[in-house]
Structure 1
């Protein structure tokens, strides 16, 4: 990334942080994924449970193997063998002490926008785990709320459909969202989190490099 782009991200992150703070979120500006991982590992207490949702950003950080390596108790759906078992573990993750995820988009006023297929990420963000660590690139700050919703529906959701190798949605057949009702629909739930009820429960790691979809 060019230095001027990173400088712009940093300036925007400082401005956005003030708005996130007013909404009871706890913003943390990080230069890159490595810094975000280092801070998260320091803040996650070793004797607590950790769950996580599907996220390219979390995967790219490499934080999950590090948590396993230090003996953290993990609630990990990827270790299951059947769809029924996977679903139960996803439900168990809502009781974790910490939940790791990302955010599909953030408005310039600090509102969090997510689309979800099953709804586990949105559920954890809204209620359940004691702490939610959300890792998000500054490239996902799109503008006003209407623009952010449009970008998440028209850009992020189709990319995730392709990433997950879906077969029948308009995202796959036409390359763009068709507001479908297909069984494979990836945006069954569209959630706007405009404020955290509990102050500092949701920690937003604002990452000054391009990562995730």
Structure 2
């Protein structure tokens, strides 16, 4: 990453952190994904259960592998062998002690914007696990609320549609969100988290490095 871009993100992160604190979030500024992983690992007790949602950023961090290596109790839908079992494990993850996720977009005022297909990821963010660790790159700070929702729908959703090898949505056919009602739609839920009811329950790992989709 160019130094001038790193400096710009660092300044924005310092300003955004103050706004996140006012909204009862717990921001932690991290220079890169490796630091974000280490900070999260420090805060997760080895006796706690951990669930997680689908996230490229979480996958790239390597935190899942490290949690397994230290004997963490993992609630892992990827270990299931049938759709029915997968569904049950996803429900169990909502009762985990800790939940790992990413954030699709953040407004400059500190509101969190997420678009979800099944809804398990935003459900865990909103209520359930005692602690949520949300990994997010500073390049996902887009502006006001309307701009952030638009950017997530027009940019992140199509990228995820291609990543998941969908076939019939406008994201695939045109490369941009078409407000579809297709069975494959991955934009079924748009969640705006403007404040955490419980102070410091949601830890926002603000990553200076450009990571994720």
Q: Same fold (TM over 0.5)?
A: yes
Q: Which residue of structure 2 lines up, in the alignment, with residue 30 of structure 1? A: 30
Report SS of the residue matched to 2:106: strand
Unaligned runs of 5+ residues in structure 2 are: none
Residue 128 of structure 2: aligned partner: 128
- Is 1:101 the equivalent of 2:98? no
Tell me which residue corresponds to 2:17. Answer: 17
Q: Which string of whole-angstrom CA distances, capped at 9 and with x for unpartnered residues, describes residues 67-116 of structure 1?
A: 00000000000000001111110000000000000000000000000000
Tell me which residue corresponds to 1:74. Answer: 74
- Runs of 4 or more above 2 Å deviation: none
1:186 aligns with 2:193: no
Q: CA RMSD in A?
A: 0.4
Q: Where does residue 112 of structure 2 map in the other structure? A: 112
Counterpart CA distance in 2 for 1:208 and 1:174 is 31
* Equivalent position of 2:137 in the other structure: 137
**For the residues of structure 2 that align with 1:197 and 1:11, how far apart are their CA atoms?**
27
Aligned-residue offset at 1:4: 1.0
TM-score, with structure 1 as normaliser: 0.99
Give the number of aligned pairs: 213
* Cα distance, 1:174 vs structure 2: 1.1
TM normalised by structure 2 equals 0.99
> Shift of residue 207 of structure 1?
0.2
The residue aligned with 2:5 is 5
Shift of 1:186: 0.5
* Cα distance between partner residues in 2 of 1:144 and 1:16: 13
In structure 1, how many angstroms separate the alpha carbons of the residues matched to 2:150 and 2:43?
Answer: 34
**2: CA distance between counterparts of 1:23 and 1:17?**
10
Q: Distance in 2 between matches of 1:17 and 1:36?
A: 15
Q: Distance in 2 between matches of 1:48 and 1:76?
A: 14
Give the Cα separation in 2 of the matches to 1:207 and 1:174: 31
Tell me, yes or no, if structure 1 residue 60 matches structure 2 residue 60: yes
Query: In the alignment, what sits opposite 1:173?
Result: 173
Inter-partner Cα distance in structure 2 for 1:136 and 1:161: 19
Q: 1:44 maps to what in 2?
A: 44
